[in-house]
Each structure stands twice: as structure tokens, then as C-alpha cells.
Structure 1
Amino acid sequence: MASVSVDTVRIPEGFKPTTELRLSSGNGPVSRTVLKTPLRDALPSEIPIIDVSGIFSVSKDARMDVARQIRDAATNNGFFYIKNHGIPIDVPETTCEEVLKFFRQPREIKDRANISHSKYFNGYKPPKSQRINPFESVDVRETFSWTYDPRFDPSVPDPVAIPPQIARYLRCENFHWEATANLPHFQESIVRYWRSCLAVARALVRSFALSLDLPEDFFAEKFTHPDAGLALNYYPPLPAPPAPAEQGESEVSIGSHTDFQLFTILWQDNNGGLQVLNRQGQWINAKPIPGTFVVNIADYMQRITNDRYVSTVHRVQNYSGNERISMPFFFGFNLNESCGVLDSCVAEGEEKKYDEISCEEWVQRRARAMHREGETSGK
């Protein structure tokens, strides 16, 4: 048989080459069909910028206006930027400076805070120690993590008085702060950043309730002591990628994934690298926009909204040539709480797709699935 020149092969009009993306979920491995098209910047219609100053307004109309915009974004790609959020610009910038000081230290100093010494997953994760997607490369990053600690929550007047059914899920320790005491402003700046994000998150929960046609305080009792963790990520630059690559062919700064709980509030520096898989199956850049944070819907939110709100796959590939810092704040209900599909998210004739599940069980299920699938993939 004669060989056929590539130049003579005619691609049918409208044909778009695709590849399959595999990732973990709370219901086992799932896949997404991804277009093999060049990476491009997101359009404002795909990741809108929302002025959230109205969430702090005494005007119900102002608060409803923000809620409507959040609903539109949450039912589209599940990502949006927020501006006029009330967090002074120096808060994340100062924290970023302190984070860089930590990660630029010799490995033996950083390892004083190694997470292996922690009881509760607080502290430092070194290079090649994380693979968030078991079907992709090891994450090319280092991380300093901190879980919710009510001693730093301004809304908790007396941590000793926390009811036992809540306290049993809390993970308070001083190890990670003691191990970073050589940096005199490290803890102070991180706590300040975390508190700022926590205040915005608590206001946003009220907006999410309004967006779902619920009373503003509908979720109030579910986040008195929230699953509000922080990850400080350090991404060294990656080499130039093969384009477009199949999954697993190129390195990732952090692999393709969705987040666990309700939503994430992310500050990123100016180097870029955050990529979002849009509804058409195309990777798009969520490029840095000064003065904004990125907010994305997470899995538990998608679950309780009966898939109305979209927990979208995202990843990071730092091709900037520079070291990159991102500081995601993950927000969810108290781990002792549970929530089923909301009645307001089930139209007449529809059924609830999911059973009620506790936040703790859901987070554990996601974590177990990630490790289990990593083992079965042989990576």
C-alpha cells in the first residue's frame, strides 16, 4: 500500500481534534473531552469581573444585584473575578513578600516546618511531594498549608467554649508557627491575609444564598467554624511546553482538578499560569487582573445545587519564566455539618441527583479517591 503524505490528508470542515482528560472526583475517575486548540485568554463573558461592593451594602437591591451576577457566573463556567472586595491591596502583597522569603530559604530550614511533623496537615510540602491529578506529572510546586484555627477567627469569642460536636473536627496546633519563627513577620502577615479572606467569604455566602432564592442567613449556622484552609503555593518556572500536548506529556505546576467544598478565593501574582477548562472543552487563561481575586465554585456547591452551579476543572502551568506565588483560600461549611440538594435548585419534574452527605465525609471521599486512583494509575 502506498503511503499517504500528511499534506494530502484533508481535514473535514468543522472537525476539531480532541483529547481525553482524566481526573479524580468524589464519584470515582471521570473524564472530560478537551479541544486541542491553542491556549487563549478568557473572554469577559467566560470569566466576568464582578463588583462585589454591594455585598456590604444596607441596600437589599445592591446585594441582590451582586447575587444575580454571581448566579450568572456560577451557572456558566463557575469562575469569576471580584473587585471592590474591601481587602486593602497591601494585605496580599505583603503576604506574598513574606511567602517568597520562606520559599527562598535553603531546604533544610524549610524542612523545619515539614508537614510530616504536623498532626493536622499544617506546614511545608517540599518539591515532588504532591500530585493532585494522578494521571498527570508530579506537581512542580512547593506549598505551605494552614487549616482553620478558631483561635485566629474574630467571630469566635472563646475557643474553649466551642461545642464538642464541632471541636472534634478542629485542628489547632502551633508547630508550623514555631517552625517559621525565624521569619518575624511570617505568621502575622498570613493570619492577616487569612482573616481578610474569611471576612469576604462569610459575606459571599450570604450572596450565594440570595443567588439561590434563599434567605440571606440560610447557611449561617453551617459556617460558624468553617472548613477554611489556606495554601501558599510556590511555582518555579516550567520549560516551554509541547503544544498541544496529550495529558501526561508535559509537566504541570498543579494538575487538572476541581476543588472540594463550596468555593475558593484566590490571589495570584502578576506572572499568570492559571488555566480553566471552559464549557466548550477549551483551556483558557484566567490571567491576573490587578486589584481582583479569582473565585471559583467547588464540588460540594455543585452537589447541593443539583449541578446548577458548576465546579470547573482548572490547573496551573507556569511558563512565565519567573517564580510564581498563588494564595488560594478554600471555604466550606463546618466539617460537622451536612447539606442535601436544595429544594430551590430542583425544578418541577426534576429529581435530586445526590444524597445528603456530611462535609467531613465528602472531603474524605475526595481525598481517598485521589490517592486510590493514583495507585491504580501506576503513577
Structure 2
Amino acid sequence: MTSSPTVDNHTAFTEVPVIDIGALVAGDPDPAARERVVAEIGAACRDVGFFYVTNHGIAPADSATMFAAAKAFFELPLADKMAIRLGGNTDQFRGFVPLGGEVTAGKTDWHECLDLQPKWGRDAASAATVRAPRDGHPLDDPEQWPTALPEFRTVMMRSWDQLWGLSARIAAGMALSLGLDEHFFAQYEGAELSDLRMVHYPPFSREAHPHAPDGVSIDQTELGFGAHVDYGFLAVLQQDGVGGLEVRNAEGEWIAAPHIPGTFLVNIGLMMQRWTNDRYQATWHRVQIPGTSDRYSIPFFFEPRFDAVVEPLPQCVDADNPPRYEPCEFGPYVVDLFAKAYD
């Protein structure tokens, strides 16, 4: 589910920038402060493809609750987790993926994860703003919730709504950075393909994890998550303090992107690269296998709706820089990627 950028406009950055986005999330932002935020977002998308955000409006206690729920899920017996395995009870690409269940660039990734996509019409408020997906596509919601954790769904639904709101504000900042109306990307939003994912990276040990796939060795699982670029629009990541995430600069150097307390880490994907005709580019990133500590992360993937057509924006095209991409309908594109990855 990855691809290589066609060109690289990034810089030889040595650290990921930190942006105070308070002016974007404030009810009555100061115009000068908002212009500063927008300019910083534009520079980060152009030069790095990643940036941290502070003053994002989500309380540390809410993040802690989300991590506690994720940890509780991964501590369940394997049988409980496998009961909601991706593709186990349905033909859809949501649910639990066990250790060694994903492969990047031909090598086994050493992590387990849970992908959640709550029902697109989950309550009256969201049903009024979210479009129904096409009938029968395999990224529709299978309602994969662990029965052993009765409060899990409540915690994750609250987190989903918070992260959705934050992602929408960041998308507004990206639109403004391109000279567009702040609501431009809102017309393409659709919860049916967005994804709240929980990931657990344990230290590699066959003794500690006897259910690891046969034949998997530390040589085959060089990374917790292999080098890749995200296929979608944007991601908002929460990670713990264990470390291991690295992003690649224009010189091919891998730069650490550790957890910074009070921040979320944002990165853009290939759909934003396509929209901006390579002005903003997806950045390669990877996760090292942790040493002796378990690592947890929670990315939220904020995606276009199923029938959104993504093509280079007129603001990013001119005689010297003609369109680099044909129009792409997002839903079929993603379904094809998942079908190949989980064949």
C-alpha cells in the first residue's frame, strides 16, 4: 500500500518542525497569528512532509485514556483478538491483524494492530454530515469491537470524534496554505474510508510470542514497520515515549521523530501529493523494532470520501509545471491497494 514520490522537493532537514496551531483551533483567532500558522504548515508540507502540532485542543488525559484502552486490547488473550481478525468474520479490511500479519517491501513487519472504522451513520450529528459509502465495498464498516472490553467502543468513539475535528482544522490550514478557501477539502471528506488504528510493537522474541508466524526471524523483521509512504490524505499520530519512528530527508538520511509531550505528529500522504502536483510530498518513514520495551502508537488516517476524485489543483499547475497525475477516484484506488496487500 505504498508508492514512491516521483520527485523530491524536500530538504535535508535534521529535525521535524513543531507548529503551534492554537490560532487554527481557536474560536476567534488573531489574523496575524493564523497567517503565521498557515505559512508554517505550508513550509513543513513542502520541505519535510511531517510536522508536530501543539495547542491542538485535545487534553493529555484524553490521550492517556486512549492509550490505556489500546494497551488493554493488546493484552487480551490471542483468541479474543482473533475473534475480530481482519477478514476473519467478513470479507472486509477492518479488524485485528496479528504479529507478522503485514509485510512491507517483501519483509515481515513486527507489530500487531487493530483498524477501526465506525459506522458512517453512527449518530444523528455525524449522519447529517457523512455520506453513505457504496454498497458492498470491502472498506465498509464491519463493527469490529472486542466483546471482552465493554467500555472500549465508548472510548474509541470519543477519540474518533476528537481526532476527526482536529484533522479537519489541519486540513483547513493546508487549504489556506495553498491559497484556497479554508473549507475547500471539506467537500471531499468522508468518514467511510477514514481509519483509527492502534499499533503494538513488542520486542522481538519467539519465546515471548510463540504465536509468531513460523519461519519469522529477527533478520526477516528488520523493522517494526518497513519504510513506506502513506497512500491517503493526512495522518495524525499519537505515540508513546519508547521511540523508533524515523523519517527520511532529501539526502536519504533517517531522522528520528520521537514523541514530544503535548504534541501530535502529522504527515501528508500520496493524495495530498497528487492534489498539489508534487508541491507537497509524502515522506518515507519507518519504525524500528523496540529494544526491551513495548511500543504503542495510535495513528488516525483522515481520508477523502469513497467517490472523491483527486486531481492536480489549478493553483499547482502552470506552463512550466503541467499536471503530473490523471484524475483518481479515491475509493476504488484504496480498495485495489488493500485487495493486493491482503490477498
TM-score higher than 0.5: yes
Name the CA distance, whole Å, in 1 between partners of 2:157 and 2:276: 32
Does the 8 A contact of 2:197 with 2:300 survive in 1? Answer: yes
Separation (CA, whole Å) in 2 of partners of 1:216 and 1:259: 23
Q: Superposition pairs for residues 45-64 of structure 1, below 5 Å? A: 46-57=15-26, 58-59=28-29, 60-64=31-35
Name the residue aligned to 1:140: 110
Matched, 1:352 2:330: no
Deviations 1:290-330 (CA, angstroms, capped at 9, x unpaired): 11111011011011111111101111113341111110101
1:339 lines up with 2:317 in the alignment:
no
Residue 148 of structure 1, CA deviation: 4.8
Match of 1:188 among 154, 158, 163: 154
> What is the number of residues matched between the two proteins?
322
Q: Distance in 2 between matches of 1:341 and 1:153?
A: 34
Q: 1:159-201 deviations in whole A, cap 9, x for unaligned?
A: 8xx7667676672333x22xx1221221111112111110101
Give the corresponding residue for 1:70.
41
Percent identity (aligned): 30
The superposition leaves residues 99-146 of structure 1 with CA deviations (integer Å, 9 ceiling, x where unpaired) of: 111111221222122221134322211112111x133x2111111111
Which residue does 2:173 correspond to in 1? 207
- Amino acid across the alignment from 2:285: H
**Alignment partner, residue 126 of structure 2:** 156
Contact 1:25 1:366 in 2 (8 A): no
Q: Distance in 2 between matches of 1:164 and 1:199?
A: 19
Cα shift at 1:356 = 0.9
1:268-294 residue CA offsets vs partner (Å, 9 max, x unmatched): 011111111111100111011011111
- Say what the alpha-carbon RMSD is for the aligned residues: 2.7
2:284 aligns with 313
Q: CA shift at 1:62, angstroms? A: 2.9
TM-score by length of 1: 0.77
**Would the aligned equivalents of 2:17 and 2:44 in 1 still touch at CA under 8 Å?**
yes
| Distance in 2 separating the partners of 1:354 and 1:121 | 27
Q: Which amino acid aligns with 1:189?
A: V
Match in the other structure for 1:230: 196
Q: Which has the larger radius of gyration?
A: 1
Partner of 2:90: 118
8 A contact 2:236–2:266 mirrored in 1:
yes
1:284/1:164 CA distance change after superposition, 3 Å? closer
CA–CA distance in structure 1, aligned partners of residues 97 and 131 of structure 2: 32
Q: Give 3-state SS (helix, strand or coil) of 2:302's partner.
A: strand
Amino acid at match of 2:105: P
Provide the C-alpha distance between the structure 2 equivalents of 1:337 and 1:31, rounded to a whole number of angstroms: 25
TM-score, normalised to structure 2's length?
0.85
**Corresponding residue number in structure 2 for 1:3:** none
Q: 1:226 to 1:110 in 2, by over 3 A?
A: closer
Q: Distance in 2 between matches of 1:48 and 1:217?
A: 25
Return the letter of the residue paired with 1:128: G
Distance change in 2, residues 1:265/1:336 (3 Å):
same
Which residue in 2 is equivalent to 1:284?
255
CA deviation profile, 1:228-261 (whole Å, cap 9, x unmatched): 111100110248xxxxxxxx76621111111111
Quick one: distance in 1 between partners of 2:317 and 2:332?
23
Residue identity in the other structure for 1:339:
V
- 3-state secondary structure, aligned to 2:109: coil
CA 1:221–1:53 in structure 2 vs 1: closer, same or farther (change >3 Å)? Answer: same
2:94/2:117 contact within 8 Å kept: yes
Choose from 57, 65, 69 the match for 1:94. Answer: 65
Cα–Cα, structure 1 residues 25 and 365, in superposed 2: closer, same or farther, change >3 Å?
farther
DSSP 3-state at the match of 1:219? helix
Q: Aligned partners of 1:73 and 1:213: how far apart in 2?
A: 16
Aligned partners of 2:7, 2:316: CA distance in 1, in Å?
25
| Deviation of 1:339 (Å) | 2.1
Amino acid at match of 1:66: V
Give the equivalent residue in structure 1 for 2:209: none
Equivalent-residue separation in structure 2 for 1:334 and 1:325 (angstroms)? 28
Distance 1:153 1:70 in 2: 32
Aligned to 1:10: none
CA distance in 2, matches of 1:212, 1:146: 31
The answer to whether the 8 A contact 1:114-1:124 is kept is yes
- SS of structure 2 residue aligned to 1:151: coil
Shift of residue 371, structure 1, vs aligned partner: 6.6
SS of the equivalent of 2:163 reads: helix
Change (3 A) 1:173 1:303: same
CA apart distance, 1:262: 0.8
For 1:235, the aligned partner's letter is Y
CA–CA separation in structure 1 for the residues paired with 2:337 and 2:265: 23
